[in-house]
Copies of this chain bind each other. A is one copy, B any other.
Amino acid sequence: MRFAQASAVTHAQTRGELKATPVQTVEAVLFGLFGRELKVALIPMSAADQAGCELLMLPGGYVDAGQDVDSEGALKRVLQGLLGLTPRYVEQSFTVAGSSRGTGGWSSSIVHLAMASPESLQELQAAGKISLVSVLPEQELPSNLALDHADLIKQALSRFAAKAAHSSIVSHLLPEVFTLSDLHRAFEVVCQRPSNPANFRRKILEANVLVSADVLHGSGRPAQGYRFEQPLVYFDRQIV
């Protein structure tokens, strides 16, 4: 449906009925953290669009110039409609625009970085609404991704990792209250780089951006729970 319309516009335009009107979409690279695995939520492409094989694509849709006030608003509306999901976090990441993206004409996609709780994603997967695919280092993404969406995921992850290294953005992969071990694991997974727990602890505490919360009980010694004072803070130095 989405991409069928894109080619329709192109046809119309070559016939001269319309001015060259770019198609504009918003897309989400929606991440969830499952233990040490970072996963991306993808939706099946509607049967109308594909030539037989089962293709996956990023959740997204058209901007509605009538009701959307900005791109993040547009994305939230689309995700709500598509999946009934309100992500824990959404931010505009980058735009990919051009006429050779396989959409049949000029199209412009504003790609967003989004995060949701593993519970909500697991539920959607159980309901058959999304597929969760791992984005591990070394490992290739599945080959049945539509258009340039594999590229978009890689780009989004790379920007996510860059921002994660010196900000608290990974916190949105975790519950409101978390342990330092949880936070450390999130940093390691997103930045794709191991680091020393003791040093991590020192650096993050010295940054003075965490406030203590309840003690959390797990499988070993109970750990101090923390929450971030602010939803997003930037550090002076790299944390991991």
User: How many whole Å from A10's CB to the nearest CB in chain B?
Assistant: 8
Residue in B10, B100, B110 whose beta carbon sits within 8 Å of that of A95 in the complex? B110
Q: Are A63 and B110 in contact (CB under 8 A)?
A: no
Interface membership of A123, Cβ < 8 A: no
Q: A92-B95, A110-B108 are in contact. Are A65 and B21 (CB under 8 A)?
A: yes
Chain B residues within an 8 Å CB radius of A21: 21, 65
Task: Count chain B CB atoms within 10 A of each CB in A64, A94, A106 and give the residue with the most.
Answer: A106
Interface membership of A99, Cβ < 8 A: yes
Interface membership of A66, Cβ < 8 A: yes
Interface membership of A195, Cβ < 8 A: no
Q: List which A5-38 residues lie within 8 A (CB) of chain B.
A: 10, 13, 20-22, 24
Q: List which A80-123 residues lie within 8 A (CB) of chain B.
A: 92, 94-95, 97-100, 105-106, 108, 110
Interface membership of A126, Cβ < 8 A: no
Q: Are B92 and A70 in contact (CB under 8 A)?
A: no
Q: Are A22 and B24 in contact (CB under 8 A)?
A: yes
Q: Are B69 and A99 in contact (CB under 8 A)?
A: yes
In the complex, how many residues of chain A place their beta carbon closer than 8 angstroms to a beta carbon of chain B?
Answer: 26
Chain B minimum-CB-distance residue to A26: B97
User: How many whole Å from A112's CB to the nearest CB in chain B?
Assistant: 11
Interface membership of A224, Cβ < 8 A: no
Chain B residues within an 8 Å CB radius of A13: 65-66
Q: Are A108 and B69 in contact (CB under 8 A)?
A: no
Chain B residues within an 8 Å CB radius of A94: 92, 94-95
Q: Are A64 and B95 in contact (CB under 8 A)?
A: no
Interface membership of A68, Cβ < 8 A: yes
The CA-CA distance from A41 to B64 in the complex, in Å, is 33
15 contacts between A and B (CB under 8 A): A10-B65, A20-B64, A21-B65, A22-B24, A22-B63, A24-B97, A63-B108, A68-B106, A69-B98, A70-B98, A71-B95, A71-B97, A92-B94, A94-B94, A97-B110
A interface with B by C-beta (< 8 Å): 10, 13, 20-22, 24, 63-66, 68-71, 73, 92, 94-95, 97-100, 105-106, 108, 110
